[in-house]
Amino acid sequence: MSFDIIRSGRAVFHVTDLEKSKQFYDALGFIETEATEKEVYLRGLEEHNHHSLLLKQRETPALEVISYKVRSEGDLDKLAAKLQREGNELIWLQKGAQKAVGRAFRYQDISGLPIEFYAEMEAVERKLQHYHLYKGAKVQRIDHFNCMVSDVEKAHNYYINELGFSCSEYTAGEEDKIWAAWLHRKPSVHDVAFMNAPGPRLHHVGFWLSDPMSLIDGCDVLASLGYGPSIERGPGRHGLSNAFFLYLRDPDGHRIELYNGDYFTGDPDFEPVRWELDDPMRQTFWGHEAPDSWFDEATEVLNVYTEKKVALQEAKLKKRKPTFVI
């Protein structure tokens, strides 16, 4: 590839009550970089970029965009040129158009997801060793996105062949079709995962914790503050990725995963791990099932050109109830 996408960078959520959302994410242990009457910029303790989660006050909840960081301004231009050659319409946002973010562009990807690429974000002080600020789950950094799409195989093939992602693990079902896939640019299990379901929708944004005990601490703090009903699934260990997990719903229903303990995928000879759809080991490693809401509910996404919600397309493969989305 002539361009270098580094990692997942940030998500932008629309929320209906900014103060309630701010309190929820504060309880999880996010750092508030800054806030206005209509926006809150959040980051993890080890992050040196201005934010990895932006909350915007709006009338209805939605995902505005998920963003990936590229290595340089030159990479941004090369990627933009490639996408335009393919016939994609890009919306450029010049430096200064967004708080703390340099020049960026947005477009609707092959699955209909709202995607943004940027190279520059304002640097801030890391809080990694400011232990007096550690609270809740002590969130460290953004890790990945998980997206529901109608054609996983199409998304999988495009992101690998055209955007330079690699596959760490995947699930295959009937007629050897790809049912779900975990793709990465950084050397971990994933920066983005795609799951077979009506889409496009955002299933969750995953944030990395330093250790499993931080996940338990997060549960205790949430429960003590009255957020127990926000715990949707877990804690537990995934079969795929081997990671510890906890799934939460914020006040608007946006799903957050707290995540720890996957593995290194950076070797050039790493081979993707295949799971059969009916293999019981792909399920939650400890055996407990996820609630129906975890399979059926997700955040609707916006069209970057019209700012309206994107209509859902039915899944290409028949609906099954897995227990492995991570």
The answer to whether the beta carbons of residues 244 and 236 sit under 8 Å apart is yes
Could you report the per-residue pLDDT of 242-258, keeping only the tens digit for each? 889 999 999 999 999 99
Report DSSP letters for 177-217, one per residue.
Answer: -EEEEEEESSSSS-SEEEEESSBSEEEEEEEE-SSHHHHHH
CA distance 236 to 30: 22
Structure tokens at 75: 């990479």
CA distance 192 to 185: 9
Give me the percent of the chain exceeding a pLDDT of 90.
Answer: 86
Structure tokens at 301: 């996404």
pLDDT for res 324: 46
Place of tokens 């799903």: 255
Domains within the chain, CATH numbers bracketed:
5-118 (3.10.180.10), 136-300 (3.10.180.10)
Q: How many residues does the chain have?
A: 326
Contacts of 319 (CB under 8 A, 6+ apart): 197
Could you report the per-residue pLDDT of 220-232, keeping only the tens digit for each? 999 999 999 999 9
Could you report the per-residue pLDDT of 26-62, keeping only the tens digit for each? 999 999 999 999 999 999 999 999 999 999 999 999 9
Among 98-112, 266-280, 293-307, the minimum mean pLDDT is found in 266-280
Closest alpha carbon to 283 in 294, 296, 299: 294
The answer to whether the beta carbons of residues 55 and 65 sit under 8 Å apart is no
Instruction: Give this prediction's pTM.
Output: 0.96
Given a cut of 50, whether residue 88 has pLDDT beyond it is: yes
Place of tokens 């989660």: 53
